A and B are shown apart, each in its own frame.
Chain A
Amino acid sequence: MGTISLKNISKSFGSTQVLNNLNVDINDGEFLTLVGPSGCGKSTLLRIIAGLEQQTSGDVLIDNKNVNRVRASERDLAMVFQSYALYPHLTVRRNLETPLRLRDYNAFERLPLIGNFSPSKKDKTESINQLVNKTSETLKISELLDRKPGQLSGGQRQRVALGRAMVREPVAFLMDEPLSNLDAALRVHMRSELSELHNSLKTTFVYVTHDQAEALTMSSRMAVMIDGNLLQLDTPQEVYDNPSSLSVAQFVGSPKINIFKGTADSSGTVSFLNVNLKRKSSESNTDLHIGIRPEHLEITNESNENTFSGTVAYRENLGSDIFFHVNIEDGSNKIIVRGLPQFTNQISNGSNVNIKRVSDKALLFSEAGMRVQFTNA
């Protein structure tokens, strides 16, 4: 089992409130990602779960047991750090053995030399060796066991750090931005490896990242945190399609969602630029933000009451897609439109383009940034 519940967790450093009354229930075997911009308190939350930091108020429950007063080492969690934090003076094998030695050997057996006289030590050493060998085979680091961390590449260190967490077979893994020190290609590769590892281990993963792409690709659920508040906790698809607030919508998705200023009239009809939406807002007579993701806008040859036009300021070619940064004619907005290369190859910087929407994809947000629903949606 590996359920973790956070109940009303708050944390402040002096007068600075870092976490604001957070409630999260993490299911057994789940890959939960805590995602948010730097400084949003996600790492602090992870350290509170780990027991490395004490919450100012609230409870942490692991497998329904309150662990507020339980030390980090006794919570049976394993953590992978951003800098890997391998012991630089020990070989890879000893790095992997360390958590097991500390758990399995008693104080006497850990003594140098005379500890070897303990009768039970031999069996324990045997089982430790087996676990280390098994783990290193899973992670394909068997041939690195006799090296020191200084002689390993970033990706190899990453695996060793994972291995050190895995050997103990903990109830849950906590990962603090484990991929952020890797180069881009390796990072993408490790994403899939981590997902596979999670599938085969079936253990709870709590994963902290500031990279929304990692959260979207790997997690079963993601928790979006901004400024110490938990804004939304849901599956990646749901968070992407149905963000609860403007900040979540802007944080998740790359390139960023386009935001237009608009209004809803007394009948609830939403209009922005020269365009009216078909669906009606549930709030009338108010200013609104209309969010449309870049892939829900298209470059078109038509020009009618449903399109608006602008000038291409910058063309970002990713091969599979081309993103056009477009200045809207009235000068108020700079938006991003996705185009498929086969249709938009001819368009260059400075050209005038017409843009139309894919229907039923716009999102409404109130002036304060809260989500506003459509009446008939």
Chain B
Amino acid sequence: MEAKQYIGEGWKHAILIIGAIVVMLPFYMMVSMSLKSQQEIQSISGGLIGAQETQTFPVCVKTGYSEETCTMKPYQYNYWFAFEKAPIPRYLMNGVIVTLSIFIIQVLVALPCAYALAKLRFYGREFVFSMVLFCLLIPVHGIALPLYVMLAQAGLVDTYSALILPWTISVFGIFLMRQFFMTVPDELIDAARMDGMGEYAIVWKVMLPTAIPALLAFAIFSVVAHWNDYFWPRMVITGNRDLFTPPLGIREFRGGIDSDEFGPMMASIVTVTVPLIVAFIIAQKRFIEGITLTGMK
């Protein structure tokens, strides 16, 4: 490669590195703060992990633990206290239950809908599809109140149903899968029909396996959106702490009698974020591999 080209590449990388730093910095702060003591956080000292001096933590003592129990290194304290103060595993489990239920039901609804809209000929198909597009335009917050009132009338506030039901029909999912199904050749479907498959069997045994890449893309949108959702759980989970999702759980560390203690708070945020990042890294490999339609032509 010529020297000139190196310079050109260098510019691109410099810009990309700056972008990466901007994106990564909050994560760096989060991890760093989850390891340091309160004094180090407030005085912005100690670098990434701080001095890690063994000390006694006053908030811990105030909460009612013995001084002996409350004496440890800051990183130990932050994570230990986060789990002591709030039932984080429970929140994580709620998060998993809610996001997985939402995603599975969304797929159960979206795939047959998308298949019908893409491949079946029926009267009013274009109208139905235009309604799907129309629904894409409705902001969630606009219909939050009527949804809440309906759930309240049905007596579902403070239940898993309230967290899951409103999201089970994803018009975005229907739209995305429909666009993908349009690219699947009709002959494949005809072949399945000749082999004796019914329409539902075609959806699950032929369309679903070919649609894995699109489905993964949708999974990432859906899971990230609902795992991180704060607005809706905050509305429909009013009292029952057992139903808190991770974002609601983080709120436990804000304010209150013991003032803002950032160490345990950041520790809990790290715990909540890590599952998503791990899931994304695993899914990324499948993204690239993805079953393609190369067997078709």
Contact = CB atoms under 8 A, between A and B. Distances in A.
Interface of A: 47, 50, 52, 72-74, 77-79, 81-90, 98-99, 102-103, 148-150, 152, 157, 164, 181
A232 B253 CA distance: 85
B296 A85 contact: yes
Interface string B285-297: 0000001111111
A201 B201 CA distance: 31
A168 to B, nearest CB: 8
A84 B292 CA distance: 16
Interface stretch (B34-42, B135-143, B175-183, B188-196): B188-196
A157 B188 CA distance: 14
Contact of B206 (A74, A83, A87, A157): A87
B191 A81 contact: yes
A102 B197 contact: yes
Nearest to A77: B194
Contacts of A47: 190
Contact of B191 (A79, A103, A148, A181): A79
B9 interface: no
Given A148-B295, A150-B294, A87 B193 contact: no
B184 to A, nearest CB: 10
B187 interface: yes
B296 A89 contact: no
A298 B28 CA distance: 88
A83 B296 contact: yes
Interface in B177-226: 185, 187-188, 190-197, 201, 206, 209-210
Nearest to A47: B190
Interface of B: 185, 187-188, 190-197, 201, 206, 209-210, 291-297
Contacts of B194: 50, 52, 72-73, 77-79, 99
B195 A150 contact: no
A89 B210 contact: yes
Nearest to B190: A52
Contact of B187 (A82, A90, A148): A82
A87 B206 CA distance: 7
Nearest to A110: B201
Q: Rank and list the top 9 A-B pairs by shortest CB-CB distance, nearest first.
A: A149-B295, A88-B295, A73-B196, A85-B191, A102-B196, A89-B209, A85-B187, A99-B195, A150-B294
Contacts of B185: 83, 85
Contacts of A148: 295
Contacts of B190: 47, 50, 52, 72, 79, 81, 85
Contacts of A90: 209
Nearest to A84: B296
17 contacts: A47-B190, A50-B194, A81-B187, A83-B187, A83-B296, A86-B296, A87-B191, A87-B192, A87-B206, A88-B291, A88-B293, A89-B291, A90-B209, A99-B196, A149-B294, A149-B295, A157-B295
Contact of A73 (B187, B188, B193, B297): B193
A83 B297 contact: yes
Nearest to B194: A79
A353 to B, nearest CB: 46
A102 B194 CA distance: 10
Contacts of B196: 73-74, 99, 102-103
A194 B5 CA distance: 57
A73 B197 contact: yes
Contacts of A99: 194-196
A297 B139 CA distance: 77
A88 B197 contact: no
Contacts of B296: 83-86, 88, 149
Nearest to B188: A85
Contacts of B294: 88, 149-150
Contacts of B206: 87
B225 to A, nearest CB: 28
Given A88-B292, A89-B210, A102 B195 contact: yes
A164 B187 CA distance: 14
A164 B192 CA distance: 11
Contacts of B295: 86-88, 148-150, 152, 157
